[in-house]
Amino acid sequence: MLTHQSYYKSELIKNLKNRIEDMKDDLVYAHSTIDHSDYKFRVGMIHGLQIALDACDDVETELNKR
């Protein structure tokens, strides 16, 4: 059985991954209608969400060391 904290973590990671995939899809489908600054913003958002996922992994690694 998952604890509340474990469930929260798994749902957060799943949500972040879904958001990344949705934003990638939006970027692919809108590639002909967006300008350069909007493209850079969207890529930056995807990068930021990926950094958040990496931070989750880093925290879990640190906690497992203890």
pTM for the model: 0.81
CB distance 9 to 56 below 8 Å: yes
Distances from the Cα of 12 to the Cα of 18, 28, 29, 30, 32, angstroms: 10, 24, 26, 27, 32
Task: Give the pLDDT score at 55.
Answer: 93
Task: Give the pLDDT score at 50.
Answer: 96
Residue 46 has pLDDT above 80, yes or no: yes
Task: Give the pLDDT score at 1.
Answer: 59
How far is Cα 33 from Cα 52, in angstroms, rounded to an integer? 28
> Higher-confidence residue: 66 or 11?
11
